[in-house]
């Protein structure tokens, strides 16, 4: 008996760790629905020189595709797809499947109609893309096996009932004018309101401050009576944050995932309504970005 060929789902990865997790989650969920296999196309990191592939240590089971110059047949297919929304997407060598390009920030319902070999490209920042495959996503993104002994020691006790992970995003949000115009930098008022709510709801709250700016983390931790915590890498920070019981996240896909990966139902998850800077937010629907039960301030 001939074995049925499994569809190939390729995910074009880009951005930092949080963005890559959203993209990978969509691809893994699609592959589960179609009974397919997953590959991560990392050619954009090489071509654009931005960030780098950040998922290698996770047990996703995906093949990594480095990309390459496509053959003649693939180049002809790419030309034919220009009217269908696939223009500008470079095919990995040998891949002749379809191309799906996300049309908007919120959930694109065309995703549910994908069949067969497909390369998907976009941000996919809505849990609607992957909620049906939640168990697989959680297993694929379990970073515990990749943690250093130091991170494991830091993680001890973070699952206590009163621990609160507070994430402050600076980096390119503060230092790059283009990124700042899109994302903006959250003001102290958001964190003050979130921590006031936490302290009312969680007696003896133990504040753990995480940030990509160590100086800011130390200053805020001192002001809030907390402790600055840092792993040796972004992945370690993400894992440590997910070990805390409650979460005050930034307008960042990175800390979004730390709150989502903490599967305990009794924790508070507080997120900013102002996910983007004002002009971007006016033009962008973010209503399906946040899972049910998260508190928006």
Tens digit of each residue's pLDDT (9 = 90 or more) over 92-143: 878 889 999 999 999 999 999 999 999 999 999 999 999 999 999 999 999 9
Specify the pLDDT at position 96: 87
Summarize pLDDT for 168-226 with one digit per residue, the tens: 998 777 667 777 777 878 999 999 999 999 999 999 999 999 999 999 999 999 999 99
Of 85 and 140, which is predicted with more confidence?
Answer: 140
Q: Give tens-digit pLDDT for 146-168.
A: 999 999 999 998 988 899 999 99
Domain ranges of the chain: 8-136, 148-296
What torsion do the CA atoms of 79, 84, 88, 89 make, to the nearest 10 degrees?
Answer: -100
CA distances 24 to 30, 102, 122, 133, 161, Å, are: 10, 14, 11, 12, 31
The residue-averaged pLDDT of 9-31 equals 97
The residue assigned the tokens 């020189």 is 49
| Multiple choice CATH, 148-296, 3.40.50, 1.10.10, 1.10.150, 3.30.460 | 3.40.50
Q: What is the pLDDT of residues 26-81, one digit of tens each?
A: 999 999 999 999 999 998 887 655 579 999 999 999 999 976 444 433 443 344 34
User: What is the pLDDT of the chain when averaged over all its residues?
Assistant: 89
Q: How many CA atoms lie within 13 A of 3 on its CB side?
A: 4
Percent of the chain with pLDDT over 90: 74
Report which of 145, 109, 153, 149 is spatially closest to residue 128, judged by C-alpha positions. Answer: 109
């Amino acid at each position: 008996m001939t074995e049925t060929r499994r569809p190939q789902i390729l995910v074009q990865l880009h951005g930092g760790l949080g963005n890559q997790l959203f993209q990978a989650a969509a691809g893994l969920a699609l592959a589960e629905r179609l009974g397919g296999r997953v590959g991560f196309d990392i050619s954009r990191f090489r071509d654009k020189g931005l960030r780098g592939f950040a998922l290698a240590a996770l047990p996703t089971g995906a093949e990594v595709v480095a990309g390459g110059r496509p053959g003649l047949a693939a180049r002809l297919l790419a030309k034919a797809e220009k009217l269908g929304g696939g223009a500008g997407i470079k095919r990995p060598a040998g891949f002749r499947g379809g191309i799906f390009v996300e049309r908007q920030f919120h959930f694109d319902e065309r995703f549910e109609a994908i069949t067969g070999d497909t390369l998907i490209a976009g941000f996919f920042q809505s849990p609607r893309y992957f909620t049906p495959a939640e168990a697989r996503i959680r297993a694929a993104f379990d970073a515990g096996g990749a943690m250093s002994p130091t991170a494991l020691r830091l993680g001890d006790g973070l699952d206590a009932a009163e621990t609160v992970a507070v994430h402050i995003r600076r980096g390119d949000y503060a230092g790059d004018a283009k990124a700042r115009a899109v994302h903006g930098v959250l003001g102290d008022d958001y964190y003050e309101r979130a921590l006031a709510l936490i302290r009312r709801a969680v007696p003896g709250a133990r504040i753990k401050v995480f940030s990509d700016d160590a100086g800011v983390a130390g200053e805020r931790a001192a002001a809030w009576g907390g402790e600055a915590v840092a792993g040796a890498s972004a992945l370690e920070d993400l894992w440590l944050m997910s070990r805390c019981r409650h979460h005050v996240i930034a307008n960042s896909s990175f800390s979004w995932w730390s709150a989502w990966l903490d599967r305990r139902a009794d924790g508070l998850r507080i997120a900013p309504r102002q996910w983007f800077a004002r002009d971007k937010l006016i033009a962008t629907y973010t209503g399906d970005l946040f899972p049910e039960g998260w508190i928006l301030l």
